[in-house]
């Protein structure tokens, strides 16, 4: 954090702390600084060497440095440094166990990654993929459609969104996949292409990605029936798509090997007989589909579970029925090409039927996608089953098709049941993306955050909807002391700021509190507002600080910062403020005190 242009004399709250520990002297001895680190900052591991190291780092007056003391100016620089950031600097690097199966992690995931606008006329761009990857995203979505000249294209189908070439998307991914994180990237294909163009897709994936593409399973003899870990998949790109059954692939290979001989031996009469059999089989399949239409769930329109995105709801049952029929025809036409199928290893897309069905039939390398409405219903009615399911299998959640303006749902409820790929529109601003950015700044911003133990091991029987969680709660005291250098509007009018503190967690913990409003003070508002919280599931909780400008009966957003509870440092800390777009508003900040047990 840069030192503010404001005179340090205005920061009386910091001066009071300094004077308390300097005992009225002009400088702070290293021993007194160490006492401050122990008593106020709760840094039990700090020792004399730690204190002297801070003096060397932040004290610029030579005499004080030689005497192993710190002036107020040096103390002020320390208090505005990363050493006093609310975010635990140990968490700016990868510190979690990265040897767990892939399903044991929250994975930063993007929806309609190619778009930078709405889903009707928005622009598709390669820069959107670069931006997502540089923000730590590890699961990218690619909507693939047949293009001219046998060149697959990427866009939001049946809309006026612009189109980009599939090969250019893959080239962009290859160039930027591991710029900020070495851990695996998942390409979630929403595949609408014919087999011919799927062959082209497979060719591009193989030739462009090269060694980065995971095309065969790893030799994991010591952990059979279990997904590999992020460490084992470092610098690898995985393809998430439907996959042919092993029998189908074998039959295809056999057909190819014997094809030329069969063609020589088979006359036109045999071909007509096979064509007739094919027609009878298709007719039979059509009848089965018509017969099963009455058994479709109410939410079939919301979610087809196969990464084929839903469409906005139509108003009448008649239209709904037609839409279901159209969906089935599209899904029936979407045959998986063998060449693409072979590139799907640990992320095979399968339809979700029920938790019981998954428990009996789903393989560890199979995953399903759920539209937000169906997923919300399952969270509400079957949360413990959802938790158990996500201990073994990867689940992707995606926004409703009715969100044509690319708005987002709140991801917290899906993290609460352990869903790994909670996909959001990264181009959209607001609370959901603030929470996503806060969640994934943890663990070095690598895009993988280890789920809490109770979401990985079933001995707790965790239910996020319960008010009793059998976990150790945290008692949090949070004092919002002051602000500094808050950005003023273009009008130049001084703000009437207040701070809102939000807890985002399981339902029983989620709440918000706010300070009083300070009138006409953007430079150094003082609140001195203490808040107490009891957090029953701290390992899932996010704390969001929002500064707002009171404008009559309403208020306007000024800046925010979201942090996992487990990443918060105790003591006197400063909170950096971010813009609505997620950019730093430095030197704007909050000064707070945190204690929890």
**Angle in degrees, CA 51, 441, 543, rounded to 5:** 85
User: Do the beta carbons of residue 114 and residue 124 sit within 8 Å?
Assistant: yes
Give 469's pLDDT tier (boundaries 50, 70, 90). Answer: confident
Q: What is the mean pLDDT of residues 414-434?
A: 97
Catalytic choice (91, 111, 192, 469) = 111
Give the tokens for residue 359.
């428990």
pLDDT computed for residue 460 by the predictor: 78
Give 461's pLDDT tier (boundaries 50, 70, 90). Answer: confident
Which contacts (CB < 8 Å, 24+ apart) does range 226-229 have? 226/101, 226/364, 227/101, 227/102, 227/103, 227/346, 227/364, 227/365, 227/394, 228/101, 228/102, 228/346, 229/98, 229/99, 229/100, 229/101, 229/102
pLDDT in tens, 506-565: 999 999 999 999 999 999 999 999 999 999 999 999 999 999 999 989 999 999 999 999
Residue closest to 542 by CA, chosen among 468, 466, 434: 434
pLDDT computed for residue 256 by the predictor: 53
Helix (H) or strand (E) holding 171, with range, is helix 166-176
pLDDT computed for residue 305 by the predictor: 44
Kindly report the pTM of this predicted structure. 0.87
Catalytic choice (156, 192, 376, 389) = 156
Give 314's pLDDT tier (boundaries 50, 70, 90). Answer: very low
Give 334's pLDDT tier (boundaries 50, 70, 90). Answer: low
Average pLDDT of the chain is 88
Annotated catalytic residue 111:
yes
Annotated catalytic residue 176:
no
Distance CA 548, CA 496 (A): 8
Percent of the chain predicted with pLDDT > 70: 83
Bridge partners of 545, per DSSP, are: 501, 561
pLDDT in tens, 162-212: 999 999 999 999 999 999 999 999 999 999 999 999 999 999 999 999 999
User: Do the beta carbons of residue 232 and residue 219 sit within 8 Å?
Assistant: no
Task: Tell me which DSSP letter residue 558 carries.
Answer: E
Asked if residue 131 has pLDDT above 60, the reply is yes
């Amino acid at each position: 954090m840069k030192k503010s242009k404001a005179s340090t004399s205005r920061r009386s709250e910091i001066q009071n702390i300094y004077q308390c520990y300097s005992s009225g002297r002009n400088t702070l001895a290293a021993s007194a600084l160490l006492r401050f680190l122990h008593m106020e900052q709760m840094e039990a591991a700090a020792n004399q060497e730690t204190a002297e190291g801070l003096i060397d780092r932040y004290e610029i007056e030579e005499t004080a440095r030689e005497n192993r003391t710190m002036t107020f100016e040096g103390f002020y620089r320390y208090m505005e440094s990363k050493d006093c950031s609310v975010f635990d600097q140990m968490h700016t690097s990868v510190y979690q166990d990265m040897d767990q199966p892939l399903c044991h992690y929250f994975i930063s995931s993007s929806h309609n990654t190619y778009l930078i606008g709405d889903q009707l006329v928005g622009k598709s761009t390669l820069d959107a993929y670069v931006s997502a990857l540089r923000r730590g995203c590890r699961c990218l979505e690619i909507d693939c459609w047949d293009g001219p000249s046998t060149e697959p294209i990427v866009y939001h189908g049946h809309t006026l969104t612009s189109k980009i070439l599939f090969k250019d998307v893959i080239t962009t991914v290859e160039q930027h996949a591991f710029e900020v994180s070495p851990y695996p990237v998942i390409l979630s294909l929403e595949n609408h292409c014919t087999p011919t163009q799927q062959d082209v897709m497979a060719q591009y994936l193989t030739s462009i990605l090269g060694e980065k593409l995971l095309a065969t399973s790893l030799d994991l003899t010591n952990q059979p029936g279990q997904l590999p870990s992020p460490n084992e998949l470092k610098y690898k790109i995985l393809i998430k798509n439907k996959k042919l059954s092993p029998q189908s692939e074998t039959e295809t290979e056999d057909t190819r090997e014997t094809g030329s001989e069969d063609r020589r031996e088979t006359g036109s009469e045999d071909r007509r007989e096979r064509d007739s059999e094919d027609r009878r089989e298709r007719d039979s399949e059509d009848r089965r589909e018509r017969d099963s239409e009455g058994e479709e769930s109410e939410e079939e329109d919301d979610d087809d579970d196969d990464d084929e995105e839903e469409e906005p709801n139509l108003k009448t049952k008649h239209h709904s029925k037609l839409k279901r029929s159209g969906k089935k025809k599209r899904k029936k036409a979407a045959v998986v090409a063998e060449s693409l199928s072979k590139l799907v290893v640990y992320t095979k897309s399968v339809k979700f039927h029920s938790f019981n069905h998954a428990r009996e039939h789903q393989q560890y390398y199979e995953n399903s996608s759920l539209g937000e409405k169906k997923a919300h219903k399952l969270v509400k009615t079957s949360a413990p089953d959802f938790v158990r399911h996500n201990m073994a299998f990867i689940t992707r959640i995606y926004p409703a098709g009715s969100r044509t303006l690319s708005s987002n749902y709140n991801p917290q409820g899906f993290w609460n049941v352990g869903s790994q790929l909670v996909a959001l529109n990264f181009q959209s601003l607001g609370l959901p993306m603030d929470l996503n950015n806060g969640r994934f700044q943890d663990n070095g911003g690598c895009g993988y955050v280890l789920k809490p133990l109770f979401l990985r091991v079933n001995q707790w029987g965790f239910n996020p909807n319960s008010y009793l969680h059998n976990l150790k709660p945290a008692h949090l005291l949070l004092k919002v002391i002051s602000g500094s250098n808050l950005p003023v509007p273009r009008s130049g009018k001084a703000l009437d700021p207040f701070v809102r503190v939000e807890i985002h967690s399981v339902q029983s913990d989620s709440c918000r509190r706010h300070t009083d409003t300070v009138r006409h003070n953007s430079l150094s508002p003082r609140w001195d507002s203490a808040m107490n919280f009891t957090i029953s599931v701290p390992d899932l909780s996010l704390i969001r600080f929002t500064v707002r400008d009171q404008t009559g009966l309403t208020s306007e957003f000024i800046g925010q910062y979201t942090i996992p509870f487990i990443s918060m440092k105790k003591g006197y800390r400063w909170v950096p403020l971010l813009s609505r777009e997620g950019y730093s508003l430095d030197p704007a900040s909050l000064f707070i005190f945190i204690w929890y047990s």
